[in-house]
Structure 1
Amino acid sequence: MKKDKEENFTLHIFTIHISSIMDLAEQTHYSSTNIYEPIQNWNQKDLGLLTGERGMYKLAHYWQYALVCSGFQVFNLDCAIRFNPFTITEETRKQNLAPEPFLEQIQIQRAFTPYQILDALQHILKEKRENTIYFLLAPCKQFLDGDVKDDEGIYLLNLMLGFIEKFPTENVPLLIIESWTYSHKNFKIFFPKLLRASQTLWELKTEKGLSRIRTRKTSITGA
């Protein structure tokens, strides 16, 4: 992160209401008081991936709220109706803030077919908006749909990976939020490739009633 953005980010993350922490996963408790440390420390030159069994999408909303607090704009490519504006609204109201200025800084584009997703990724790479953090929500789901033949699905998944891998080289900040729970055989082939392509990898894990974020991989080369 640029220095001025980094200082601003650090200032704002600790203003987030502590009750947010308790909402990450149903019937669980979070093991840390700073759910924003991973995104605070993330090198935007790296391809980031947040995965887990549950709770990732809600955590992504809190990260987006913190990013907007720090002066960034956020763009969601939502591939499975995972973005919920009411989560942002609830968070602003806990701070006695009007939600509209925050929501105005968060754009959502929904894509419901593999080809819509591929087209949207290409458009994002061409557009390269300044001061914008991109979130790719549940990108694999549409490729695993029963209407998509297996051979076509894996081919298109690999095409998507090719576009995703261009984001770091084009200096377009991208965070992918994806569950690891799909049982489809193509997902079992593709997901390890996505894990290898990610330069920063976080796992939201729930054990014995505690939810914690584990950093599985982080860049050692980015500045």
Structure 2
Amino acid sequence: MFLETTTRPSSGANLYQPVLSWNRKGLSMLTGMSGIYHLALQWEYAFAVSGFKVFNLDCAIRFNPFVITEETRKRRIPPESLLENIFVQRAFTPYQILDALKTIANNKSQDMIYFLLAPCKQFFDGDVQEEEGRFLLDKMLLILETIHSKNIPILVIESMKYKHPTFQNFFPKLAAASSDLWELKIENQLSYLKVRKKSIPSIETLEENAEV
């Protein structure tokens, strides 16, 4: 059963708070109708400035380095050294996505945070048969559950807006597998997060080191 905790920020910085206290053990997800990829990149900045490496598996050209460099400019931090610790791999077919996730599952890297950007759409586009897409999505979920079981920190960033029946059937499974689930809401130009699921927080958080 999902929680219904709402965090209404007095400033944009508060949108960092849920991920700063994330226990970084396994699978979690950020979702919403809009704005989620921009927020995810701001979270990547928070991790990178705290000394973590960040790996993006970008499935729909959602990675935009200028969002991160804008954060560095706001705080007068040289962007070059920060960007050296942020990696991007693109995957545009279901099989490329599955292969990349298998690599992540089999090669845990110290101090690496993984971001999976917009993975689902590739499984129900026009080039994939509906039955095949459902089968491959279930395979992706199995790999993500393996990643979760190994406590590899991975954040799935996925929109809620798709009406395709394959997505509507799969999304609740992905949400159920996630230990933390945040929904970004934007109303009257105000952004806030609803905490739909919450794991037990880790004793060690980013808050001591993050310059956000």
TM-score tier after normalising by the smaller chain length? 0.7 to 0.9
Shift of residue 174, structure 1, vs aligned partner: 0.5
- Given the alignment of the two structures, is residue 154 of structure 1 paired with residue 154 of structure 2, yes or no? no
Letter in structure 1 aligned against 2:10:
S
Q: Does the CA-based 8 Å contact 2:9-2:192 persist in structure 1?
A: yes
Shift of 1:91: 1.5
- Asked if residue 59 in structure 1 is aligned to residue 23 in structure 2, the reply is no
Query: Residue 144 of structure 1 aligns with which residue?
Result: 124
Greater RCO (Cα-Cα under 8 Å, separation 6 or more): 2
Cα distance in 2 between the residues matched to 1:194 and 1:180: 12
Aligned length: 194
Q: Residues 32 and 212 of structure 1 are in contact (CA less than 8 Å); yes or no, is this contact kept in structure 2?
A: no
Instruction: After TM superposition, list the pairs within 5 Å mapping 1:103-182 onto structure 2.
Output: 103-182=83-162
Q: How high is the sequence identity, in percent, across the aligned residues?
A: 57
- How far 1:222 moved relative to its partner? 6.7
Q: Which residue of 2 aligns with 1:90?
A: 70
**C-alpha separation between the residues in 2 aligned to 1:97 and 1:179?**
31
In the alignment, the residues of structure 2 paired with residue 71 and residue 167 of structure 1 have an alpha-carbon distance, to the nearest angstrom, of 22
CA distance in 1, matches of 2:202, 2:187: 32
CA contact (8 A) 1:165 1:197 kept: yes
TM-score with structure 1 length normalisation? Answer: 0.83
Q: Where do 5+ consecutive residues of structure 2 fail to align?
A: 1-7, 204-212
Residue 43 in 1 paired to residue 23 in 2?
yes
User: Deviation of residue 165 (structure 1)?
Assistant: 0.8
Equivalent in the alignment of 2:9 = 31
Two-structure CA RMSD over aligned residues (Å): 1.5
Report the TM-score, using the length of structure 2 for normalisation.
0.87
Assess if the C-alpha contact under 8 Å between 1:45 and 1:173 holds in 2. Answer: yes
Q: Is the 8 A contact 2:32 2:184 kept in 1?
A: yes
Is 2:188 the counterpart of 1:188? Answer: no
For the 8 Å contact 1:72–1:131, the answer to whether it is kept is yes
Instruction: Give per-residue Cα distances to partners, 1:13-69, cap 9 Å, x unaligned.
Output: xxxxxxxxxxxxxxxxx7333121111111111421000000000001111101111
Question: Once the 2 structures are TM-superposed, how far is the Cα of residue 166 of structure 1 from its aligned partner?
Answer: 1.1
Q: Which runs of 5+ in 1 are unaligned?
A: 1-29
